[in-house]
Amino acid sequence: MGLAPVRCGLFASFFVLTESFLFQYALRIDKEKYLMTRVKRGAVARKRRNKILELNRGFRGSHSTLFRTANQRSLKALSSSYSDRRKKKRQYRRLWIRRINAGSRSMGVTYSCFIHDLKKSTISLNRKMLSQLLILHPESFQMVAMGSGCDIRVAQLVAKE
């Protein structure tokens, strides 16, 4: 990188310019070719923020008014809603099992024996249907229980009554 004399100016005086200066000047000219106009994001950013705040209407305190906390809350709410949709299925299954257990025990059979006998006799009613039968038509549930092979225990219970 030696010094290169360059002739410029009105009075033909010599200025010594370094190669690095010339290189930087060339870069600036190249950059100007590719420069884009300035983009103002006000409307887009506001729209994005308002979308989050609209999702959080009804949340308490700053979770519905301040963007940062609202954004965190909405992400948390979305993740919770995803996992809770799966939890709901588990909870309903537990409820059905409890109902069937109560109904089968009232006939003198445990839940596990009742389900085992149903499978052995190839009665293919799922737990949801069994639970509905028990609530809406208890006599139909009793008939299903008798048909499943639990009839010995059920008959003994009926005989006692």
Q: Which residues pair with 14 in a beta bridge?
A: 7
Yes or no: say if 49 and 67 are a contact pair by the CB < 8 Å rule: yes
Structure tokens at 151: 């009839």
- Can you give the residue range of the structural domain that contains 101? 88-160
Question: 111 and 79 in one domain?
Answer: no
Q: Check whether residue 77 and residue 136 sit in a common domain.
A: no
* Residue 97 contacts residue 111 (beta carbons within 8 Å): yes
Residue 8 lies inside a defined structural domain of this protein = no
Helix (H) or strand (E) holding 102: helix 67-106
Split into its structural domains, the chain has a count of 2
Say whether both 93 and 56 belong to one domain.
no
Residue 31 falls inside a structural domain:
no
Q: What is the pLDDT of residues 84-133, one digit of tens each?
A: 999 999 999 999 999 999 999 988 888 999 999 999 988 889 999 999 99
pTM for this structure?
0.63
141 and 78 assigned to the same domain:
no
The per-residue pLDDT for range 35-73, each reduced to its tens digit, is: 677 778 889 999 999 999 999 999 999 999 999 999 999
Residue 111 lies in a domain: yes
**Mean pLDDT score, 142-159:** 71
75 and 113 inside one domain: no
Q: 143: buried, middle or exposed (CB in 10 Å: 19+, 13-18, 0-12)?
A: middle
Structure tokens at 154: 């059920």
